[in-house]
Amino acid sequence: MARMTDPADVDRAEVEAAFRQHWTVGCVEENWAAWPDRLTEDVDYVEHVYGEMRGREAVRSWIVSLMEQRADVHALLDWYVISGSRLILNMTNRYYHPDPAGAPFDFPGLTVLGYAGDGLFGYQEDYWSQRLAKVAYLSWAAAVEQAGGRGLDGDRFEQLERERKAQNLAVLARGAG
Protein backbone atom coordinates (compact mmCIF):
# COMPACT_ATOMS: atom_id res chain seq x y z
CA MET A 1 0.00 0.00 0.00
CA ALA A 2 1.15 3.52 -0.76
CA ARG A 3 2.71 5.63 1.94
CA MET A 4 0.11 7.88 3.61
CA THR A 5 0.55 10.73 6.04
CA ASP A 6 -1.00 10.31 9.49
CA PRO A 7 -3.93 12.78 9.59
CA ALA A 8 -2.75 14.01 13.00
CA ASP A 9 0.60 15.03 11.49
CA VAL A 10 -0.79 16.90 8.49
CA ASP A 11 -0.40 20.61 7.97
CA ARG A 12 -3.51 21.76 6.11
CA ALA A 13 -1.55 24.45 4.24
CA GLU A 14 0.88 21.79 3.00
CA VAL A 15 -1.96 19.63 1.67
CA GLU A 16 -3.55 22.64 0.00
CA ALA A 17 -0.27 23.69 -1.63
CA ALA A 18 0.31 20.15 -2.91
CA PHE A 19 -3.21 20.06 -4.33
CA ARG A 20 -2.77 23.38 -6.10
CA GLN A 21 0.30 21.95 -7.86
CA HIS A 22 -1.49 18.65 -8.58
CA TRP A 23 -4.52 20.36 -10.13
CA THR A 24 -2.56 23.06 -11.95
CA VAL A 25 -0.11 20.69 -13.69
CA GLY A 26 -2.85 18.27 -14.72
CA CYS A 27 -6.19 19.93 -15.15
CA VAL A 28 -5.19 23.56 -15.73
CA GLU A 29 -2.04 23.13 -17.85
CA GLU A 30 -3.10 19.69 -19.13
CA ASN A 31 0.51 18.52 -18.90
CA TRP A 32 -0.42 14.86 -18.55
CA ALA A 33 3.14 13.58 -18.97
CA ALA A 34 4.29 15.63 -15.95
CA TRP A 35 1.12 15.29 -13.84
CA PRO A 36 1.96 11.83 -12.38
CA ASP A 37 5.07 13.40 -10.83
CA ARG A 38 2.61 14.87 -8.27
CA LEU A 39 1.95 11.27 -7.12
CA THR A 40 4.17 8.96 -5.09
CA GLU A 41 6.14 6.31 -6.93
CA ASP A 42 3.95 3.64 -5.31
CA VAL A 43 0.60 5.47 -5.66
CA ASP A 44 -2.61 3.48 -5.38
CA TYR A 45 -4.91 4.82 -8.09
CA VAL A 46 -8.50 3.61 -8.30
CA GLU A 47 -10.35 4.62 -11.45
CA HIS A 48 -13.82 3.13 -11.29
CA VAL A 49 -14.23 2.90 -15.07
CA TYR A 50 -10.67 2.10 -16.21
CA GLY A 51 -9.57 -0.01 -13.24
CA GLU A 52 -6.96 0.07 -10.51
CA MET A 53 -3.35 1.05 -11.06
CA ARG A 54 -0.35 0.82 -8.81
CA GLY A 55 2.64 3.05 -9.31
CA ARG A 56 3.37 6.41 -10.88
CA GLU A 57 4.57 4.97 -14.19
CA ALA A 58 1.41 2.88 -14.64
CA VAL A 59 -0.66 6.03 -14.08
CA ARG A 60 1.53 8.02 -16.47
CA SER A 61 1.18 5.44 -19.24
CA TRP A 62 -2.59 5.33 -18.81
CA ILE A 63 -3.29 9.08 -18.48
CA VAL A 64 -1.06 10.16 -21.40
CA SER A 65 -2.71 7.63 -23.71
CA LEU A 66 -6.22 8.46 -22.48
CA MET A 67 -5.82 12.22 -22.82
CA GLU A 68 -4.40 11.83 -26.34
CA GLN A 69 -7.67 10.06 -27.21
CA ARG A 70 -9.85 12.50 -25.25
CA ALA A 71 -8.01 15.77 -25.86
CA ASP A 72 -11.36 17.51 -26.40
CA VAL A 73 -12.50 17.07 -22.77
CA HIS A 74 -11.36 19.64 -20.21
CA ALA A 75 -11.83 19.90 -16.43
CA LEU A 76 -13.29 22.68 -14.30
CA LEU A 77 -12.82 22.57 -10.55
CA ASP A 78 -16.11 23.29 -8.75
CA TRP A 79 -14.99 22.93 -5.10
CA TYR A 80 -12.74 20.96 -2.79
CA VAL A 81 -12.51 20.21 0.92
CA ILE A 82 -9.62 19.05 3.10
CA SER A 83 -9.98 16.79 6.13
CA GLY A 84 -6.68 15.73 7.64
CA SER A 85 -4.69 14.02 4.91
CA ARG A 86 -7.75 13.59 2.66
CA LEU A 87 -8.89 15.98 -0.03
CA ILE A 88 -12.18 15.58 -1.87
CA LEU A 89 -12.94 17.55 -5.01
CA ASN A 90 -15.88 18.01 -7.33
CA MET A 91 -15.28 18.82 -10.98
CA THR A 92 -17.10 19.34 -14.22
CA ASN A 93 -15.72 17.58 -17.28
CA ARG A 94 -16.47 19.66 -20.37
CA TYR A 95 -16.60 19.40 -24.15
CA TYR A 96 -16.81 22.80 -25.85
CA HIS A 97 -19.85 23.25 -28.07
CA PRO A 98 -18.93 23.88 -31.71
CA ASP A 99 -21.61 26.58 -31.88
CA PRO A 100 -20.46 29.65 -29.89
CA ALA A 101 -24.10 30.15 -28.79
CA GLY A 102 -24.45 26.51 -27.64
CA ALA A 103 -24.08 25.31 -24.08
CA PRO A 104 -21.05 23.08 -23.40
CA PHE A 105 -21.49 19.34 -22.96
CA ASP A 106 -20.68 18.55 -19.32
CA PHE A 107 -20.57 15.57 -16.99
CA PRO A 108 -19.63 15.52 -13.29
CA GLY A 109 -16.69 13.92 -11.54
CA LEU A 110 -15.56 13.43 -7.94
CA THR A 111 -12.04 12.61 -6.75
CA VAL A 112 -10.65 11.56 -3.37
CA LEU A 113 -6.95 12.17 -2.76
CA GLY A 114 -4.78 10.93 0.09
CA TYR A 115 -1.81 13.11 0.95
CA ALA A 116 1.47 11.24 1.50
CA GLY A 117 3.79 14.11 2.41
CA ASP A 118 6.59 15.82 0.48
CA GLY A 119 4.02 17.53 -1.77
CA LEU A 120 2.80 14.21 -3.20
CA PHE A 121 -0.40 12.19 -3.13
CA GLY A 122 -0.19 8.44 -2.48
CA TYR A 123 -3.81 7.65 -3.17
CA GLN A 124 -6.31 8.81 -5.78
CA GLU A 125 -9.81 7.53 -6.44
CA ASP A 126 -11.92 8.90 -9.28
CA TYR A 127 -15.68 8.65 -9.62
CA TRP A 128 -17.71 9.69 -12.63
CA SER A 129 -20.77 8.41 -14.41
CA GLN A 130 -19.88 6.44 -17.51
CA ARG A 131 -23.46 6.92 -18.72
CA LEU A 132 -23.34 10.72 -18.36
CA ALA A 133 -19.88 10.85 -19.93
CA LYS A 134 -21.18 8.88 -22.91
CA VAL A 135 -24.21 11.18 -23.26
CA ALA A 136 -21.92 14.24 -23.20
CA TYR A 137 -19.49 12.72 -25.70
CA LEU A 138 -22.15 11.54 -28.14
CA SER A 139 -24.01 14.87 -27.94
CA TRP A 140 -20.75 16.73 -28.56
CA ALA A 141 -19.78 14.43 -31.46
CA ALA A 142 -23.21 14.92 -33.07
CA ALA A 143 -22.93 18.70 -32.68
CA VAL A 144 -19.43 18.64 -34.21
CA GLU A 145 -20.71 16.59 -37.15
CA GLN A 146 -23.72 18.88 -37.62
CA ALA A 147 -21.49 21.99 -37.48
CA GLY A 148 -18.97 20.48 -39.86
CA GLY A 149 -16.14 20.74 -37.32
CA ARG A 150 -15.24 21.63 -33.74
CA GLY A 151 -16.06 25.30 -34.23
CA LEU A 152 -12.87 26.33 -32.48
CA ASP A 153 -11.50 28.43 -35.31
CA GLY A 154 -9.71 31.75 -34.95
CA ASP A 155 -8.98 32.43 -31.31
CA ARG A 156 -12.17 30.78 -29.95
CA PHE A 157 -10.34 27.78 -28.50
CA GLU A 158 -7.73 30.00 -26.83
CA GLN A 159 -10.50 32.21 -25.41
CA LEU A 160 -12.42 29.21 -24.01
CA GLU A 161 -9.22 27.83 -22.52
CA ARG A 162 -8.35 31.18 -20.91
CA GLU A 163 -11.82 31.27 -19.36
CA ARG A 164 -11.55 27.66 -18.15
CA LYS A 165 -8.13 28.23 -16.66
CA ALA A 166 -9.29 31.43 -14.94
CA GLN A 167 -12.27 29.58 -13.44
CA ASN A 168 -9.98 26.83 -12.12
CA LEU A 169 -7.50 29.32 -10.67
CA ALA A 170 -10.34 31.29 -9.00
CA VAL A 171 -11.49 28.16 -7.16
CA LEU A 172 -7.91 27.41 -6.11
CA ALA A 173 -7.51 31.01 -4.90
CA ARG A 174 -10.67 30.71 -2.76
CA GLY A 175 -9.21 27.66 -1.13
CA ALA A 176 -10.86 24.64 0.43
CA GLY A 177 -14.47 24.97 1.48
- Full set of structural domains in the chain with CATH: 7-174 (3.10.450.50)
User: Rounded to whole angstroms, how far apart are CA atoms 155 and 112?
Assistant: 35
Amino acid 7: pLDDT: 57
- pLDDT over threshold 70, residue 76: yes
Amino acid 3: pLDDT: 55
Q: Are 65 and 49 in contact (CB under 8 A)?
A: no
Residue 92: pLDDT band with limits 50, 70, 90: very high
Amino acid 133: pLDDT: 96
Percent of the chain surpassing pLDDT 70: 95
71 CB burial (10 A radius; 0-12, 13-18, 19+): exposed
Amino acid 177: pLDDT: 78
Handedness of CA 149, 155, 158, 164 (dihedral sign): negative
User: What letter does residue 144 receive in the DSSP assignment?
Assistant: H
CB neighbourhood size of 130 (10 A): 11
- 137 to 30, 73, 107, 134: CA distances (angstroms): 19, 9, 9, 5
User: Rounded to whole angstroms, how far apart are CA atoms 17 and 172?
Assistant: 10
- pLDDT over threshold 70, residue 6: no
